[in-house]
Amino acid sequence: MSATPVLIDCDPGHDDAIALVMAHRSPDIDLLGVTTVCGNATLDRTTTNARRIMEFIGATDTPIAEGCREPLARPLVLGTADGPSGLDGTPDLPEASMALDERHAVDFIADTLASASEPITLVPTGPLTNIALFLLKYPHLKDRIGRIVLMGGAFYRRSEYITPTEFNIFCDPEAANIVVNSGVDVTMVGLDVTMHVLVEEPQFAELGKIDTPLGKVVLDWLAFYEKLHRGIMGVGGALHDPLALAVVIDPSLIETRPAHIAIDLTGSHMFGATVADFWNERGEGTNVTIATSVDSDRFFDLLYGLLRDERGV
């Protein structure tokens, strides 16, 4: 099978960083570009981080376009899981020197879709601001999207984040609302599954065997990330964004259910919560597919394999 053409929209972020690494190294992904958004850190920082990561892994031919500085309708609330820089604990990365694409992320996405010979998969791993703005500005290009596989939402489980919400949705709920009701095929890889792909002792032991510059940097990222996560939630680092990307490589990693979801845009403590109707109780049909379980061992085998592969660093 030929590689799936993919655009990643991200806010790196340690886990976004690992998703970028996996996409670049997977023979099943044709990474057409990376767009950045605010979220885990300010836009300047997430863009700088994306450039540093892509340079380090030798992906300088992949364009990076900068996107939105703030959510559509609310002040930016920064994430807390990655340190102020968005990528704390990684002294070994080069300073950013690769040029940014001159287009805004939204226009870059539009041009890429318009010129593609086949439908493109979008993988948003941050707040959905850029994707919503793209859908508002270029509705006629919606049909060029094959599917959207996004990291976001919490359905069965309570979130780790303030209320029963997940950060990417909480940060820009209006944008998320536009995306899930766009009519595009949307798969939500949320906390129900990503909180089962945890880096703990056994995973650190396996990763520690990967004796390459990349292996060492990934270990540094995860050591920092795990410590912060454990402090907040009492469990190891959850590989949220890498799982969303992995699902494009191997859809059989997760089980899914179709549902109709509503996003609370008006509540106070429940604001940003994703409320799912799995049984069509409200008679609204379905608007998304939700990941409900994951084969975590197979996810980690995929990750180790891609990191061990002797490509680049």
Contact residues toward Ca ion (CB under 5 A) are: 11, 13, 16, 125-126, 241
Question: Does the footprint of ligand BDR cover residue 13 (CB under 6 A)?
Answer: yes
* Cα 199 to Cα 75: distance, rounded to the nearest angstrom: 32
**Cα–Cα dist 167/164, whole Å:** 10
81 touches ligand BDR by CB under 6 A? yes
- Which residue, judged by CB position, is nearest to ligand BDR in the bound state? 167
CB closer to ligand BDR, 192 vs 241: 241
The count of other CB atoms within 10 Å of the CB of residue 273 is 23
d(CA 296, CA 310): 24
Closest CA to 39 of 122, 124, 155: 124
Count CB neighbours of 42 within 10 A.
18
As given in the structure block, the two tokens for residue 225 are 């990330």
Please tell me which residue in 14, 24, 229, 240 is annotated as part of the active site. 240
**DSSP element (H, E) containing 240:** helix 240-249
240 is catalytic: yes
d(CA 276, CA 81): 26
Chosen residue from 166, 192, 226, 264 binding ligand BDR by CB under 6 A: 166
Asked if residue 237 binds ligand BDR (CB under 6 A), the reply is no
Closest approach of Ca ion to the CB of residue 153, in Å: 13
Stretch of residues binding ligand BDR (CB under 6 A), selected from 12-20, 98-106, 204-212, 275-283: 12-20
In the complex with ligand BDR, the residue whose CB is nearer, 123 or 214, is 123
Residue among 63 and 242 whose Cβ is closer to Ca ion: 242
In angstroms, the CA 199 to CA 173 distance is 28
CA pair distance 123, 241, nearest whole angstrom: 9
In the complex, the smallest distance separating the C-beta of residue 116 from ligand BDR, rounded to whole angstroms, is 25
Angle between helices 14-25 and 240-249 (to 10 degrees): 20
286: left (phi over 0), alpha (psi -120 to 50) or beta: beta
List 47, 62, 125, 182, residue binding ligand BDR (CB under 6 A): 125
For residues 12 and 68, what is the distance between their CA atoms, to the nearest angstrom? 14
> Interacting stretch for ligand BDR, rule CB under 6 A, among 13-21, 41-49, 89-97, 197-205?
13-21
Say whether residue 241 binds ligand BDR (CB under 6 A).
Answer: yes
CA dihedral of 232, 20, 39, 98, whole degrees rounded to 10:
130
167 with 39: CB under 8 angstroms?
A: yes
**In the set 4, 6, 7, 16, which binds ligand BDR (CB under 6 A)?**
16
Select 229 or 260, whichever has its Cβ closest to ligand BDR: 229
From 5, 33, 79, 173, residue interacting with ligand BDR (rule: CB under 6 A): 79
Task: Give which of Ca ion, ligand BDR, none residue 81 binds (C-beta under 5 to 8 Å, depending on kind).
Answer: ligand BDR
240 touching ligand BDR, by CB under 6 A: yes
| 168 sits near ligand BDR (criterion: CB under 6 A) | yes
The number of beta carbons lying within 10 Å of the beta carbon of residue 237 is 26
**Which of 9, 15, 172, 226 forms a contact with ligand BDR (CB under 6 A)?**
15
Site residue total, ligand BDR (CB under 6 A): 14
The residues of the shown chain that bind ligand BDR, judged by CB under 6 A, are: 13, 15-16, 40, 79, 81, 125-126, 151, 166-168, 240-241
Q: Would you name the residues annotated as active-site residues?
A: 240
